[in-house]
Amino acid sequence: MLNVGKIEEGFVLDHIKAGKSLSIYHHLQLDKLDCTVAIIKNAKSNKMGKKDILKVECDIDMLDLDILAFIDHNITVNVIKDGDIVAKKELLLPKEIKNVIRCKNPRCITSIEQELPHIFVLADEEKEIYRCKYCEEKYLERS
Ligand SMILES: [Zn+2]
């Protein structure tokens, strides 16, 4: 595997669907954090053919696992401390997500009341369906 520098403390997100690393980078707001990020695109994978990998050097607590799980819960999260993998975190679909996606129903109260947070709740865990907390509009496209 391609090695882009060794991380002392942070995390490596492995098994990202090829081409999705940039979208995850933005969703995790890594552009706003003062940390070192390596994006590896189209790495060879036995399991997936091609995959993306994100290496992030920063305080482990800064990672929002809920957002990550919502985007793709098949991503492997390796926690790095003192240069070694100390833990692998399992991603579980969050029961509720706030201000990550927006409700597209024009009649939803969130379209009218701009200051309301956009909250979606997990309506069907097996089918991974989220619905708006206010109007129950289904969220269709996964980013
Ligand atoms: Zn709604």
Task: Please give the average per-residue pLDDT across 76-97, as a whole number.
Answer: 92
Task: Decide: 73 and 42 in contact? Cβ < 8 Å.
Answer: no
Strands (E), the chain: 9-17, 36-45, 49-57, 76-81, 84-89, 96-98, 119-124, 129-132, 138-139
Q: Are residues 107 and 51 in the same domain?
A: no
Alpha carbon 74 to its chain centroid, in Å, reads 10
Report the distance separating Cα 106 and Cα 137, nearest Å. Answer: 10
pTM of this prediction?
A: 0.80
How far apart are the CA of 139 and the centre of ligand 1, in A? Answer: 9
Task: Decide: 7 and 83 in contact? Cβ < 8 Å.
Answer: yes
**Residue 19: inside a domain, yes or no?**
yes
Task: Decide: 35 and 56 in contact? Cβ < 8 Å.
Answer: yes
How far apart are the CA of 118 and the centre of ligand 1, in A? Answer: 8
Would you state the pLDDT for residue 34?
Answer: 86
Q: Are residues 111 and 84 in the same domain?
A: no
Would you state the pLDDT for residue 4?
Answer: 58
Hey, is 46 helix, strand or coil?
coil
How far apart are the CA of 102 and the centre of ligand 1, in A? Answer: 8
- What is the token pair recorded at 128? 């991974």
CA nearest to 68, candidates 80, 54, 48, 85: 54
Is the pLDDT higher at 143 or at 20?
Answer: 20
**Residue 65: inside a domain, yes or no?**
yes
pLDDT tens profile 28-49: 989 888 889 999 999 999 988 9
* Lowest model confidence (mean pLDDT) among 16-20, 26-30, 52-56, 76-80: 26-30
How far apart are the CA of 71 and the centre of ligand 1, in A? Answer: 19
Ligand 1 ion: Cβ-proximal residues, 5 Å cutoff: 103, 105, 108, 132, 134-135, 137
How far apart are the CA of 112 and the centre of ligand 1, in A? Answer: 10
Going by pLDDT thresholds of 50, 70 and 90, the confidence category of residue 15 is very high
Would you state the pLDDT for residue 1?
Answer: 47
What domain range includes position 122?
96-132
Q: Are residues 50 and 103 in the same domain?
A: no
Q: Are residues 83 and 112 in the same domain?
A: no
Would you state the pLDDT for residue 141?
Answer: 66
How far apart are the CA of 43 and the centre of ligand 1, in A? Answer: 38
- pLDDT of residue 105 exceeding 90: yes
How far apart are the CA of 101 and the centre of ligand 1, in A? Answer: 11
Tokens 């379209």 sit on residue: 111
